[in-house]
Amino acid sequence: MKKEIIICLLSLGMLTSCGSASSSSDSKKTETSTADRETIFQVSLLQGLTLGDYYGSVTVGELKQKGDTGIGTFEGVNGELIMVDGTVYRALSDGSIETAPDDETIPFANVTFFDADEKQELSDISGIADLKALLDEKVEKLGKNRFYMVRIDGIFKRVHARSELKQEEPYKPLAEALATDQREFSWDNIEGTVVALYCPQYMNDLNAVGWHMHFVSADKSKGGHMLDIDIDSAELKIDFTQGFNMLLPETAKFPTLDLTVDQSEDIKKVETKD
Ligand SMILES: [Zn+2]
């Protein structure tokens, strides 16, 4: 009974097959098809989460049918979600990592099946602004009106990340919750993976425009929503993604949210350091 919105982007004059809204019964069959691998699947709107709709609408198990790589959060904003190689990890409020159970629910996430369409060696990057500038330059060349999922693997000089305490009902708006319940951590010389999503400008009412990055260490012991990074050397992989498939949640709260309010300032506040 889940409603899905599918938007297909046309790129390089090639028609991309949208496929039909996939139900769990046909997801097994379609998950290996080209169209599905080239789709960003989104659970709800970030703007719902920022207004305090922390109620989960898909399970971790269902999310795994839609991708093997991605970012998001859990019911009650119970930690940051990082999906790498098909496993869903939770970064807890102390920066430690645990594997999320398949029956836990998710209020907001973006995932895709990751295929590296382009690779590049990275070196000497000082700060997340430098990294974003480099990635923006790539997007400028590749086309800024489609989605990109990025994966960066390496040994990083420094990673600064955050997670947050699980929220209790009644849920406050996210900026308010993070003002008291966000926790930050830094790690030096840490091996791991950054998963980053790029959303085009026209996603302004549905997600954060530009880059949203999460980190998990190679030994799967540390991670979070990434606020800053210094890179000595690492490998960048970019997955070009033409399709966008969004699930509207059937939570009791979702239909009552006032989504006419522009939340770009609040989103900037919750996504970045300053
Ligand atoms: Zn995040």
Q: What is the pLDDT of residues 82-95, one digit of tens each?
A: 999 999 999 999 99
Confidence (pLDDT) at 274: 57
For residue 212, the CA-to-ligand 1 centroid distance in Å is 6
Would residue 72 be called left, alpha or beta, if left means φ above 0 and alpha means ψ between -120 and 50 degrees?
left
For residue 197, the CA-to-ligand 1 centroid distance in Å is 10
Q: Per the structure block, which two tokens stand in for 262?
A: 């522009």
User: 48, 34 in Cβ contact below 8 A?
Assistant: no
What is the DSSP code string of 191-248?
EEEEEEEEE-GGGTTTS-SEEEEEEEETTSSBEEEEEEEEEEEEEEEEEEE-EEEEEE
For residue 145, the CA-to-ligand 1 centroid distance in Å is 22
Q: Cα–Cα distance between 87 and 42 in angstroms, integer?
A: 17
User: 113, 67 in Cβ contact below 8 A?
Assistant: yes
CB atoms within 10 A of CB 29: 10
Task: Please report, for the chain, the start and end positions of each structural domain, with discontinuous segments joined by +.
Answer: 3-112, 118-241
Q: Per the structure block, which two tokens stand in for 172?
A: 């406050």
CATH, range 118-241:
3.30.1330.80
For residue 29, the CA-to-ligand 1 centroid distance in Å is 31
Confidence (pLDDT) at 25: 44
Residue 147 phi/psi, 5-degree rounding, is -95, 150
Q: Cα–Cα distance between 213 and 273 in angstroms, integer?
A: 12
Low-confidence ranges of the chain (pLDDT < 50): 1-3, 7-31
Confidence (pLDDT) at 35: 55
Q: Cα–Cα distance between 254 and 207 in angstroms, integer?
A: 15
For residue 211, the CA-to-ligand 1 centroid distance in Å is 10
Confidence (pLDDT) at 7: 46
Would residue 57 be called left, alpha or beta, if left means φ above 0 and alpha means ψ between -120 and 50 degrees?
alpha
Confidence (pLDDT) at 261: 86
For residue 177, the CA-to-ligand 1 centroid distance in Å is 14
Residue 145 phi/psi, 5-degree rounding, is -105, 15
Domains 3-112 and 118-241 share a fold: yes
Q: Cα–Cα distance between 141 and 258 in angstroms, integer?
A: 37
Q: Cα–Cα distance between 193 and 188 in angstroms, integer?
A: 14
Question: Beta 108-112 vs 105-106: how paired, if at all?
Answer: unpaired
For residue 215, the CA-to-ligand 1 centroid distance in Å is 9
Nearest CA to 158 out of 222, 220, 89 is that of 222
For residue 107, the CA-to-ligand 1 centroid distance in Å is 13
CATH architecture of the domain with range 3-112: 2-Layer Sandwich (3.30)
Confidence (pLDDT) at 22: 41
Confidence (pLDDT) at 158: 98
CA dihedral 73, 211, 70, 110 (to 10 degrees): 70
Q: Cα–Cα distance between 16 and 35 in angstroms, integer?
A: 7
pLDDT digits (tens, 9 = 90+) for 35-79: 589 999 999 999 999 999 999 999 999 999 999 999 999 999 999
Question: Beta 39-43 vs 243-248: how paired, if at all?
Answer: parallel
